Structure 1
Amino acid sequence: MGEKRCSPDTLSYNVLIDQLCSNDKLDEAEELYKGMDDKKVSPDEYTFVTLMDTCFKENRPDDAAQYFRSMVEAKLRPNLAVYNRLVEGLVKVGKVDEAKSFFDLMVPKLRMNDDAYKFIMNALFEVGKHDEVLKIIDGMLREDPNDFTEEVEEFVREVLRKEGREDEVTNLKLDVEREKAEAAAKAAEEAERAKASARTAVASLLFSNKDNENKDAEEESSEDSEDAETTSVSEETEMQAGEGIADKTSAGTTSSNNDVGLESAESVGNGVSEQGTA
């Protein structure tokens, strides 16, 4: 395959693998599957499921489980029917713990129905793992209480009733409800504290801005006062300087007038003296 310019795709490989598995040639089918990587061809869900189912028929449950795991690791999405075949095949050969591990793996990925829940629960009950069933119920109540339907609850209660443990379901439901209520109250309290903290921060910011505005106003007022004082001092200095100049001018004028008066008096005196002599 792949010779003479033939480029096989996933569908081509699936047809050949299916034919080999149908004819009890699982080993050859697996060799073909391993060669897909060399040809850069990616297996799909059908490839893995065909090999998984055939491994269960050949009493190779571990290999079947590995094909399922490889399918999930390849980011493929096996449906609920394929998952059911896996856990049924594992439980049938007594691998309940492994079946439970795949249940835990697939719960977040699949929408389990009542039959899927009841099957794994019944498998756990049959090997005496009642506490594991209660853990499953605990997860259902916490993640999505709607999954714990009346049908599933009655199935569980019926089994636990035979063991005298029926009240454990009721107690579990009450505990989960109480914890959820406490968590909700705590979340509300934390939210209120966060709001109060935010209000305080806003108030502090507003007060800080107002304080800064007041400081700016005070600084501006102080600057205006200083400017006014400077102006007043300057004006006073100018006035004093003006008065000084005026005083000097007045003094100069008075002195000049006095000098003129003396000269006039001397002149008159001289005139009188001259007349007497004559």
Structure 2
Amino acid sequence: MIAGFDLDAFVRATLAEDLGEGGDITAAAVIPAEAMFDGVMASRDAIAVAGLLIAEAFFRALDPEVVLERLVEDGARVAAGTALLRVRGRARALLTAERSALNTVQHLSGIATLTAAYVDAIAGTGATLLDTRKTIPGLRLLEKYAVRMGGGTNHRMGLWDAAMIKDNHVAVAGDVGEAVARAVDAGIARIIVEVDRRDQIAPALAAGATWLLLDNMDPTALRAAVAEVAGRVPTEASGGVRLDTIRAIAETGVTYISVGRLTQSAPAADIGLDLALG
């Protein structure tokens, strides 16, 4: 299970949205109540898999007696045409749950697949790939789970688990040092500070920053910033990172690289559920 995520509530709300007040009028009209189906969910592309446990929950919610056979595990990297999940049960229930199950697996596997591509691109550099808070409201825990399934690492889960002082915070506080000092005075242990100029590094560290986010710096600037920090705190490169640029960024010696597009704009994986009369 996914820690902190209310799977039952998610399944109920998703199905309620799809069923509305009238239910699945297509399945009710077309499929005999006693009909049984046997089907396989399969990937049509090479992907990193995420979300099968959630798909299973959708099928169980509408057919408690459904027989489910998970053929691969979340986190697996599979070739195009790989069967992921076998489902056997009442046809009306399976067809009603199909779209909700597929939507979730396609979205989460898309995130995992894009994450895996970024992880592969920086292999051997020592840098760690991070996600961000650029997630769909209500789906953060699921999307960050998908990042982990793709081999990435989660950054902050929310506003509560670390301070992140960004340019607008600095503007209101007056300067970087003052903003950091206020966070220290508040007793916050983990203080991430965004800097976009090297002259902000020294005052941020002097005031008590425990992590520096080097924002929108090119590789040359990143290398100089990493040298100045000299390992005193972790460094994070962020801003406009793409698959074709991340390797050069990783080779500057930064500790972390955060990529918003992992959750913000990953394309859905092409996955289908083909059902055959059993």
TM-score over 0.5 for the alignment? Answer: no
Whose helix proportion is higher, 1 or 2?
Answer: 1
Whose strand proportion is higher, 1 or 2?
Answer: 2
Q: Which of the pair has more CA radius of gyration?
A: 1
